[in-house]
Chains A and B, each alone.
Chain A
């Protein structure tokens, strides 16, 4: 009897925890904030991509964007970022597997993107543009302390850990 009550109590606790989490997620979904992307975990990605700019979370772009970016590394926004084939292939694999549309599920970064839209910059996605519009002075990106829209950490101190809700 006691065991049954305990089991029921446990189920109820887990149930309410799930309900609470669902409510939080739904709220976060509405305003597009409150979600953590997590840190980049692949060492080669951290080392190679992170040498010149923050190693961006793969969830910020669809898989087709990562493939296009990784296929054009010899002219990477005016920079020669070419890598040995095996390394490029391994990094592409990580980025694609963790992309914003991986396993057929679109995350919030995919909002407003057409099925064949292939943004090459995260700052070119409708979601990024919407999130920064009005909140950030356009000139702020030219500030020498920021220098570039690719410098997320200039304002989002926890960006490398996947935390962007400090805006």
Chain B
């Protein structure tokens, strides 16, 4: 009985890792919450993030940024679950959380890359809504 209990307890975290959605990472949830608060401040009508909007942001070809990087897909490819490549030819780990579980869990890193890449793709900073949408989309991928 005792052994069985212990075994069941040991299996619990494993089960949780398999069944819980990819979003359930405390650091990533904190990042999402941070952007949700900022999105509300940006727009009082904000009613939650949307994976569909995040996907549109990922795929849209913009004209305000650098000619070589009109869309996220220019480096990250059409499939977020596959790896990408930088302009310098270096491999980029997949953006999809299912493939890169530690993505969007470090606030400084998140802001660093949105800061750089929104400028080079969109030609401007991304809004908090866009950042939250993007992470929401990638968390389900």
A151 to B90 alpha-carbon distance, docked (Å): 7
- Please encode chain A, from 43 to 80, with 1 for each CB lying within 8 Å of some chain B CB and 0 for all others: 00000001111100000000000000000000000111
- Are A53 and B88 closer than 8 Å at their CB atoms? yes
B90–A53 touching, CB < 8 Å: yes
Bound complex: CA A54 to CA B90 (Å): 7
Flag if B120 contacts A53 (CB, 8 Å): no
**Residue tally, chain B, CB below 8 Å to A:** 12
* Chain A contacts for B120, CB-based, 8 A: 78-80
A151 near B89 with CB under 8 A, answer yes
Q: Which of B85, B89, B116 contacts A79 (CB 8 A)?
A: B116
Q: Which residue of A lies closest to B119 (CB)?
A: A80
Specify which chain A residues have a CB less than 8 angstroms from the CB of B115 in the assembled complex: 80, 82
A82 & B90 in contact (Cβ 8 Å cutoff): no
Complex interface: chain B residues within 8 A of A52 (CB): 86-88, 90
Flag whether B42 is at the interface (Cβ < 8 A).
no
Q: Which residues of A contact B119 (CB under 8 A)?
A: 80
Q: How long is the Cα–Cα vector from A79 to B66 in the complex, in angstroms?
A: 9
Please encode chain B, from 114 to 137, with 1 for each CB lying within 8 Å of some chain A CB and 0 for all others: 011001100000000000000000
Shortest CB–CB separation between residue A63 and chain B, in angstroms?
23
Interface size on A, as a range, is 10 to 19
How far does the Cβ of B93 sit from chain A's closest Cβ, in whole Å? 10
Segment at the interface with B among A12-20, A28-36, A142-150: A142-150
Is A140 located at the chain interface by the 8 A CB criterion?
no
Residues of B within 8 Å of A51, CB to CB, are 90
Is the CB–CB distance between B89 and A146 below 8 Å? yes
Minimum C-beta distance from B32 to chain A (A): 23
Instruction: Check if A81 is an interface residue, CB within 8 A of chain B.
Output: yes
- Which residue from chain B places its CB closest to the CB of A151 in the assembled complex? B89
**A148, B85: Cα distance in complex, Å:** 11
**6 closest cross-chain pairs (CB), A and B:** A151-B89, A147-B89, A53-B88, A150-B88, A80-B116, A148-B89
Instruction: Give 17 A-B contacts (CB < 8 Å), ordered by A residue.
Output: A50-B90, A52-B87, A53-B88, A54-B88, A78-B66, A78-B68, A78-B120, A79-B87, A79-B116, A80-B116, A80-B119, A82-B116, A147-B89, A148-B87, A148-B89, A150-B88, A150-B89
